[in-house]
Amino acid sequence: MARPRKWRKVCCLPDSSRFGPLDYPVDAANTVNMTIDEYETIRLIDLEGFTQEECANQMNISRTTVQGTYIDARKKLADSLVNGKLLWIEGGEYQLCDDRGSGCGKRGCRRHRCGKDFEKEAEAENN
C-alpha cells in the first residue's frame, strides 16, 4: 500500500488564479494547470528568497519533494510563457496556514502583511 501524501502548508491562495493571453480559446490544448503547492514553491523560493531547505520546512515536506515540485512548477511556467498558454492555478493537496507566527515568509504571513484577513472578511460576510 502506498504511503499517503502529506498536506503541504500554504500561506494563502493566489490573488489571481488565471494568467495568459486573452485572445486564445480556453481548451485543454491551450491550458497549463499548476497546483497551489507548486505556486507556493515558486512564491517561497523565487519571490521570498527561501532556499529549498527553508521552503521544505515552511511547507512541512521533504527537501526532495520541494525540489521535484519546484522543477514541475518552473516547467509549467515556461510552457505557459513560451507557448502562450493560459495558466490556471488550482487544486493540489494543501492546507492553509493558521496565520499565527512568522513562518509564512521572511517578513511574516503574507495574508497579514497584505491586509488580507480572511477570517474577518468571512465573519463580515456572515453578519
Report if residue 4 sits inside a domain.
no
Report if residue 62 sits inside a domain.
yes
Distance CA 122, CA 127 (A): 9
Q: What is the pTM of this model?
A: 0.76
Half-sphere exposure in the Cβ direction for 117 (13 Å, CA): 7
104-123 tens-digit pLDDT: 666 556 544 444 444 444 45
Report if residue 58 sits inside a domain.
yes
Domain count, the chain: 1
Distance CA 93, CA 91 (A): 7
Length of the chain: 127
Averaged pLDDT in 10-residue chunks for the chain of 127 residues: 80 89 77 95 94 94 95 97 93 80 56 47 48
Q: What is the residue range of 42's domain? A: 26-126
84-97 tens-digit pLDDT: 999 999 998 898 88
Report if residue 120 sits inside a domain.
yes
